[in-house]
Amino acid sequence: MRSISVITFILLIAVSYGFYQLQFQVEQRQDQAATLEQKIKTDKENIKILQAEWALLASPKRLQQLSNRFLELAPIDPSQIKTLDDLVQRNDGVEGAAFMEVPDAIPGETEAAVDLAELPQRGAPTLPTVPVVNRGGGL
């Protein structure tokens, strides 16, 4: 009988300690969760501020002022917009500078057998000088 009481008493102390530990941990986690939630809230608030700032900085009015001041760009003229059909085939003997020629695959071998290092090297195609268009208002 006495041994049962002793065992029960020891168990009681063990369970109480265990439970206290558990509760302590839970409280810690709750604090962490609260801190995190607060941080999420602050972060969301900050994201909002940044988004608002971005909207202010990227507003068309401001971009236009900056463009007029720093860029040599003019509004697009309709004549500058072309479709693929508008491109005429070059027939002046000049090979397309923008396209590298790929040698035909050797018969019997796979296409991947072409060693890229052996391809003729070309310098970067030189771009024609683009005439500077007069600045104007407008995006």
Q: Binding residues for another protein, per CB under 8 A?
A: 19, 22-23, 26-27, 30, 33-34, 37, 41, 45, 48-49, 51-52, 54-56, 58-61, 64, 75-79, 81, 83, 137-139
Closer Cβ to another protein, 13 or 97, answer by number: 13
Least separation in angstroms between CB 27 and another protein? 8
In the complex, minimum distance from the CB of residue 19 to another protein, in angstroms, rounded to a whole number:
7
Burial class (CB in 10 A: 0-12, 13-18, 19+), 68: middle
Q: DSSP E strands: which ranges in 1-139?
A: none
Indicate the residue among 22 and 105 with the shorter CB distance to another protein: 22
Shortest separation between residue 61's beta carbon and another protein, angstroms: 6
Q: Which one, 79 or 110, has the nearer CB to another protein?
A: 79
- Which DSSP letter does residue 108 get? T
Determine the Cα–Cα distance for residues 14 and 52; give it in Å rounded to an integer.
56
| Residue 101 buriedness (CB in 10 A; 0-12 / 13-18 / 19+) | exposed
